[in-house]
């Protein structure tokens, strides 16, 4: 069976996308997905998504981690699938779609290469020592560090993700350095089990955690630099709850092709 695929990236976070509105692609077993995402023996990606029909929404997003397991919400993946939906002619400049963490609204530029994705509202942030823990559609650990450019993200991220507290369910581990006019963020992602060039739910978690730490209330706009480029997170914060949370950034098609299972 030959299947047509598209490769998209959002700030270096890359994904295999399939138009599965006809439900013809049924090979969602862990081994097949993992092989397709493998960078040496497959197409190579941080994850794979299926775009499928839904009676109450423009489309449904089904996300798989690079290890082949069904994933939680992926922010940059969500932005990329919105760009994909525009490419397919399903949407124009706005959309409401369904993901694993619920409905999402998004708007996209006329050229289709910039997407503002509304994330879920956040009511609570907890602490693990001096670090923050919160769920922005996926679970995240946020720790502030110095000299992040030279920090061993793989070593320390892997240790935290696999410690006794988080090993069973897994957690994404974000390290942040506040550079004044922007935040610099690097993330170790569960499911990929490595550092990625960007993590959308991760930078969202970081922006919210830092706003709480610095007591930045009102309408907050947070520029973020990641290894793969620049993102922007804006939201309303009343000192307790986060509302109207948007993850904004580029989403671009890289190439398309066919594979056989």
Q: Which residues are catalytic?
A: 74, 199
The Cα-based distances of 1 to 4, 27, 34, 50, 220 in angstroms read 10, 10, 18, 17, 49
3-state DSSP assignment of residue 200: helix
Provide the residue count of the chain. Answer: 261
Q: What angle do CA 36, 32, 164 make, to 5 degrees?
A: 95
Query: What is the Cα gyration radius of the chain?
Result: 18
3-state DSSP assignment of residue 9: strand
**DSSP per-residue string spanning 186-202:** EEEETTTTEEES--HHH
3-state DSSP assignment of residue 251: coil
Let me know if 104 is exposed, middle or buried by CB neighbors in 10 A (0-12, 13-18, 19+).
Answer: buried
Interatomic CA distance for residues 255 and 259, integer angstroms: 13
Q: What residues pair up with 116 in beta bridges, in sequence order?
A: 107, 248
């Amino acid at each position: 069976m030959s299947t047509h695929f598209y490769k998209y990236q959002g700030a270096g976070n890359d994904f295999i996308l399939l138009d599965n509105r006809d439900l013809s692609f049924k090979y969602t077993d862990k081994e097949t997905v993992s092989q397709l995402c493998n960078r040496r023996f497959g197409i190579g990606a941080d994850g794979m998504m299926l775009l499928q029909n839904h009676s109450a929404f423009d489309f449904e997003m089904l996300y798989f981690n690079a290890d082949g397991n069904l994933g939680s919400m992926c922010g940059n993946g969500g932005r990329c699938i919105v760009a994909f939906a525009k490419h397919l002619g399903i949407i124009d400049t706005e959309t409401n779609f369904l993901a694993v963490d619920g409905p999402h609204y998004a708007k996209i530029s006329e050229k289709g290469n910039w997407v503002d994705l509304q994330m879920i509202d956040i009511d609570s942030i907890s602490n693990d020592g001096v670090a923050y823990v919160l769920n922005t559609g996926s679970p995240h650990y946020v720790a502030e560090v110095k000299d992040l450019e030279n920090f061993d993200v793989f070593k320390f991220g892997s240790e935290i993700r696999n410690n006794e507290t988080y090993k069973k369910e897994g957690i994404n581990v974000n390290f942040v350095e506040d550079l004044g006019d922007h935040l610099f963020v690097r993330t170790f992602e569960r499911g990929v089990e490595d550092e990625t060039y960007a993590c959308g739910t991760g930078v969202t978690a970081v922006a919210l955690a830092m706003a709480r730490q610095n007591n930045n209330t009102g309408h907050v706009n947070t520029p973020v630099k990641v290894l793969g480029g620049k993102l922007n997170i804006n939201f309303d914060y009343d000192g307790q709850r986060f509302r109207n949370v948007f993850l904004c950034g580029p989403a671009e098609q890289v190439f398309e092709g066919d594979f056989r299972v």
